[in-house]
Structure 1
Amino acid sequence: MSGQFTLHPDRLFPADPATRAIARELHAGIANLPIISPHGHTDPAWFAENQPFPDPASLFIIPDHYVLRMLYSQGIGLDELGVPRLDGGPVETDKRKIWRILAENFHVYRGTPSYLWLTHAFQTVFGITEVPSKDNADRLYDIIAEALEKPEFRPRALYERFNIEVIATTEGPLDDLRHHRKIRESGWKGRVISAFRPDPVVDPDVPGFADNLQALGRLTGQDTATYRGYLQALADRRRYFMEVGGATSTDHGHPTARTADLQDEDAAALYDRVRQGGALADDAELFRAQMLTEMARMSTVDGLVMQIHAGPRRDHNPEIFSVFGKDKGGDMPGPTGYVDELRPLLARFGNRADLTVILFTLDETAYARELAPLAGHYPALRLGPAWWFHDSPEGMRRYREQMTETAGFYNTVGFNDDTRAFLSIPARHDVARRADCAFLARLVAEHRLGLDEAREVAHDLAYRLAKTAYRL
């Protein structure tokens, strides 16, 4: 049997009636603010081509690693979910069958943020209030599929319907940004910008690293066989991303937050070793560390905001990675240090107020011990929101509780959704705004913050801080 769900107007607010009333009032003042989405992984081709999304499974299941990993944890193979194999081998292609798997197993998402995001999208975008199940799977599939054929459900129309002011995608350094160019030339008023993700040419552990360096040289006309030419090529690509993609930020997905500040000759010698392939693990880590400092130096020149997403242990499941590739739900959090690791970069650039370095972590034990004290001191540092595995109501609460006393609100950057799932963007921002209002309401109820101050902070967390931090 199928049940009903409801998006309760007081969802995620405190249970205490007096505090809940404050949260409700705070949220009413920010609920309809435009969405600033300064970092994410939606496909710019959606907005360039503005073609209909193909089907419900391709929209909600196949590209969403949150959805995939939960189903996989229940023993459902990724091939059954239509995820393409690297070798082109057979996988399920009947999208209705794939959707049925989600519907029949929807109960496994109870209590997770995915449940909040999916039900929000079902109701607000498609008017669905039935919990997906075996009994209604085909009917819900037809409702969504028929809606996707209508003009008002195309990517640009949804962008406008969601009240998005700006959305940033993320592209690698070898991307020609053709989709961003097409968006700009189309005359559409939506603002879709890129972010520069140089990992393929700064991380020696990335497959094809040596070939990527050669491709970087061909793209820029620089001699990437030399360290000087390599750095110039990176600077050239950053400018290209700013000019063609409207980029205002870079993004660095390193396994650690380690930085280094080598002498030029030592850095050049290290580059020669990693460029030739087969770099030792210590050399690869030292090179990534050096390049974080080099990227900070370049940001002092071109003004790009620097994001460091440190800590994920990528591709923990070797079988999934070898068969299906990256970003299929097999990444895991790991312990991550910041105080010692960032010291070389901060010794050189941390006191500069014209540089913005935004730190993200998957290691919550670093919140009060390392991240909040660092951001509460260095002018260059800001704290990114609760990220990935902690992008959840409880994760957001823990983040605010542990960060605020030392870093305050104004050394953070509000919220970003960091998603590939386009229809989850309004839901994610709704959850973040409600979670922040719940936290602020408690401060007001405990007479630690005035109501007018809380109103201003709520607005800043929902809108202004992200817009300012990312120079949008």
Structure 2
Amino acid sequence: MKKFMDENFLLKTETAQKLYHNHASKMPIFDYHCHLNTKDIAEDRRFKTITEVWLYGDHYKWRAMRTNGVDERFCTGDASDWEKFEKWAETVPQTLRNPLYHWTHLELKKFFGIDKLLSPATAREIYDECNAKLNTPEYSCQGLIRMANVHTICTTDDPVDTLEYHRQIKASGFEVAVLPAWRPDKATMVENPASFNDYLAQLESASGMAIKTFDDLIAALDNRHQFFHENGCRLSDHGLDTAYAADYTQEEIKEIFASVREGKKLDRTEVVKFQSCMLFEFGLLDHKRGWTQQFHIGALRNNNTRLFKKLGPDTGFDSIGDLPVAAPLSKLLDRLDMENKLSKTILYNLNPRDNELYATMAGNFQDGSVPGKIQYGSGWWFLDQKDGMEKQMNALSNLGLLSRFIGMLTDSRSFLSYTRHEYFRRTLCNLLGNDVENGEIPNDMELLGSMVENISFNNARNYFNF
């Protein structure tokens, strides 16, 4: 019987162990999509408790705690840090076979050198040991990033953001590149005229431009796109329930924009036409400046109305959606490609039924200009666990080129989540090791080791070329 989470955790064969220990484990991390707080990095924040770094803002854990019968007070409420940690410690033993069990113990081991299993019996001891270490200089935010061997971080930023903390980080001489990524979703949300117009007021202030017409909107966004570019941004991101590519005319879009500016409620057809136009316009901006675009597609958000009103978005009430995506996604990418303005693109699905759909969609728009120009992105959100990662990589292997895959990202708000890269790399090495043991691929360690190093880091570095 194997010991839980030893040095060969998830590595079932000798080949897998060699690939991980000799190749994957030594590679730096290129974290091209996350939600880390740049203010924390710029000010090199030091967390007072493990609860602050582990439970504040982590909706994965909140969902598990609620499911375990824990009152909201101990998730997002006013309970003390110890009380929240204690409830998490009570929940962890109930998360067996959920990736949270693995992530929790990987993070304790990687960052704190703790091999004990978290439970009510060990909670106080682990809490005190983690807190003592967090209150030392090497456990600051920048220190945690160094411990994880991070090379580059790309955050998630709205076009109206000042990027002041990105500039502060760069000026400080911090050796890890912390770059912004453009997330313009709010500029498409015309279904709520009041919120949309409030956002445009912010965009006017940020750009220094009046926005009276649709052309003004595009000019203001172009202004901010250039500002982001000047501050190192080379990557955009779009969070979508599905792709949008309805037919429209410029006259229709101008009329729709005028209506929403007057506060009029749009019908669904008008909303979809406007969003379709905006996705195309964003694609043009990205191509204009040589950026890569990302599409995260398939979340059904804010399902619990009562708790959404109480707690707001991103608090653990989202799930997998099932809207059709193939036809509109193809149409959107084709529109840009017909103009010869399709940028490098990364596609992420949240519904696992669509794995092969996305893998084949990526193949439709490869043009030989860049290896893996259209990427089928890593397992995302509900799929960034062992089973989801394996299925994504198997679909990509069968229908594309796994060797050109740009690998894992954190997609997290926690500075301890870099162990997800280790989890991914172990899973990758185990897949390849099994194939070698089964005689399905050659036992060529030079070939396989190079492939593992490329997927772990080199491919992303070369693909983004920041």
Normalization by structure 2: what TM-score? 0.92
Structure 1 residue 240 displacement after superposition:
1.3
List aligned pairs for 1:163-242, cutoff 5 A: 163-205=149-191, 208-242=195-229
1:331 aligns with 2:318: yes
The whole-number CA distance in structure 2 between the counterparts of 1:222 and 1:21 is: 62
**Counterpart for residue 109 of structure 1:** 95
Per the TM alignment, residue 8 of structure 1 is displaced from its structure 2 partner at its CA by 1.5
Name which of 10, 18, 27 aligns with 2:20.
27
Whole-Å separation in 2 of the counterparts to 1:11 and 1:353: 44
Which letter does structure 2 place at the counterpart of 1:180?
H
Shift of 1:231: 0.6
Does the C-alpha gap of structure 1 residues 343 and 101 become closer, same or farther in structure 2, counting only changes over 3 Å? same
Alignment-mate amino acid for residue 413 of structure 2: R
Please give the alpha-carbon distance, in whole angstroms, between the structure 1 residues aligned to 2:425 and 2:191. Answer: 38
RMSD: 1.9
1:336 positional shift: 4.1
1:400 aligned to 2:393?
yes
Residue among 7, 10, 13 paired with 1:9: 7
User: What whole-Å deviation, never above 9, does each CA across 1:54-107 have from its counterpart, x for those lacking one?
Assistant: 3111111121111111101122232222x2xxxxxxx32411111111112211
Instruction: Pick from 219, 241, 247 the counterpart of residue 255 of structure 1.
Output: 241
Contact 1:336/1:363, CA 8 A, preserved across alignment: no
Partner of 1:105, secondary structure, is helix
Fraction of identical pairs, as percent: 26
Cα distance 1:398–1:280, how it changes in 2: closer, same or farther (>3 A)? same
Which 10-residue stretch deviates more, 235-244 or 302-311?
235-244
Among 420, 440, 446, the alignment partner of 2:432 is 440
State the distance in 2 between where 1:32 and 1:276 align. Answer: 57
Structure 2 CA distance for aligned equivalents of residues 311 and 232 of structure 1: 29
Q: Distance in 1 between matches of 2:330 and 2:90?
A: 50
Distance of 2:353 and 2:427 partners within structure 1? 20
2 CA distance for matches of 1:170 and 1:405? 31
Question: Does the alignment pair 1:279 with 2:273?
Answer: no
1:167 Cα deviation from its structure 2 partner: 0.8
SS at match of 1:79: helix
The one-letter amino acid of 2:74's match is E
CA contact under 8 A between 1:51 and 1:155: conserved in structure 2?
Answer: yes
TM-score w.r.t. the length of structure 1 is 0.91
Q: Which runs of 5 or more residues in structure 1 are unaligned?
A: 15-19, 84-90
Report the residue type matching 1:7 in the other structure.
M
Please say if residues 144 and 415 of structure 2, whose CA atoms lie closer than 8 Å, have aligned partners that are also in contact: no
Tell me the equivalent position of 1:367. Answer: 355
Q: Distance in 2 between matches of 1:289 and 1:276?
A: 21
Structure 1 residue identity aligned to 2:414: A
Which amino acid in structure 2 is aligned with residue 393 of structure 1?
Answer: K
Q: Which deviations, in whole Å up to 9, do the C-alpha atoms of 1:263-303 show, x marking residues without a partner? A: 32222223223444422233223322221111111111011
From 80, 87, 110, the counterpart of 1:124: 110
Partner of 1:88: none
Q: Structure 2, unaligned stretches of length 5 or more?
A: 367-372
Kindly state the Cα deviation for residue 233 of structure 1 after the two structures are TM-superposed: 0.9
How far the C-alpha of 1:468 sits from its partner, in A, is 2.7
The AA in structure 2 aligned to 1:62 is: Y
Q: For the structure 1 residues 335 and 187, does the alpha-carbon distance in structure 2 shift closer, same or farther, using more than 3 Å as the test?
A: same
Query: What are the superposed Cα offsets for residues 336-374 of structure 1, whole Å, 9 maximum, x if unpaired?
Result: 433311233222323658711111111111111x21111
Alignment correspondent of 2:131: 145
What number of residue pairs does the alignment pair up?
452
